[in-house]
Amino acid sequence: MLAVVQDQLPLLAGQRRSQRFLKGRPGTCCTPIPAATAGTTSAGHGQRTTPPAKHRRYSSSSAAVPILLILLVLDRAQERWYVPVVVCGLLAWAQVADELAVVAVAVPVGAVAVVRLVVLAIRLRPLREFWYDTALGMAATVSILLAAGTEKAIRALGGFDLLPLPQQLLVTRSQLPGHIRALGETLLLLFGANGQGNHGLAFLAQFHLIGLALAGLALLAAIVWYVTRVDRVTQVVVAAAVATMAAAILTIELSSVGQAHEVAVLLPFGAVLAGRVLPGLLPDRVRAARRALLPAGGAWLAVGLAALCYAATGAPVAAENMPLAGWLTAHGYTEGLAAYWQASSTTVDSGGKTLVAPVTDQGTAVYAWEADAAWYDPGTRRAGVLRPPSAHVSCGRLRDHGVPVQPADQACRR
């Protein structure tokens, strides 16, 4: 629901400053609510952990904040020596937060610097104009090394550990249609245009399709005018958006809409492009039409806020593992083991009264992702065993004993 706010306010802000879309000082850079797309990830009790994804070393949209800060610095700061230094630090921060930032911002910043250097060379510009883009390209390269060194230092100090990327990172040709469809569904979800499960929200979601369409139009326009009319920040955002979508289609990072958080940064990218590019599509002589966009955009924003208020009035959905957590607590179970999806959520649903530690789906090894080693210490723990319903204990037998079991749940025994 925040998507409508995220992608509309830059449009309104862009009406006053549309001339900056063209050559010259860049226009408005970031969305007013960049933090809406960002998430945080916590480590368990300061212990060495592995990150929250089977295929990604770290899975989170928390890199959106430093990415938008990078765009803000490039947009607002003058070409001074310290800007590449600041950008390098922010790039490293983004990559430590989420390795997808290498594709989402580090490579785009470096690639744009190279493109701009080539254009300067073709136009035979003086050498003094080359230093800034050269410094930004070097900052992007150094940031990758700096991020790698920071990750090693964190591991050496007992912080989180990182899973290596899988050997089979690229998808096969037969998987491409499914990934393209997943990306389309993900974009609808990110922009609040899916509207599933509620007739009222489904109706309001049609208005969010306007935001998605405008972001797509802005991306296409920026690609067409990439070298001739758009500024550095817009070039970076275009390259970042295209690279992120290419990664979603060509790699295993986005196989379903359930992994939408992997590419959540596409939402602020779309908002930035819409705010910077679309006002420049209107000729200056069409001033009446441009003035009419402000109240139209305000009405559109009001519809989005109304949808947010409407959604907030709905009854909350009960936690999926609440019945199981209640049963375990009522029957005196204080410790247990389960597959990841049933472990931590059951612990939370029990209010911490039952500690369920995660193990692999087969139950043969520890699932060391944001987990405390003390949870598995046989000297201090006597955990009950939580197994898949097919292993040793059937759902029918469990229901006979009153355990609230569903096909996807985990069963337990002392």
Please report the pLDDT score of residue 286 as a whole number.
Answer: 63
Domain ranges of the chain: 2-312, 322-413
User: What pLDDT is stored for residue 287 in this prediction?
Assistant: 59
143 Cβ neighbours under 8 A, 6+ residues apart: 87, 88, 89, 91, 92, 95, 106
The model's pLDDT over 380-409, given as tens digits with 9 standing for 90+, comes to: 766 554 544 333 333 343 444 444 444 434
pTM value > 0.75: no
pLDDT tens per residue across span 199-245: 666 777 777 888 899 999 999 999 999 988 889 999 999 999 999 99
Low-confidence ranges of the chain (pLDDT < 70): 1-62, 161-165, 195-201, 284-290, 381-414
Q: Which residues of 253-269 are buried (b: 16+ CB within 10 A; e: fewer)?
A: bbbebebbbbbbbbbbb
Beta bridge partners of 357: 337
pLDDT attached to residue 12? 35
Strands 384-387 and 411-413: antiparallel
Residue 123, number of CB atoms within 10 A of its CB: 8
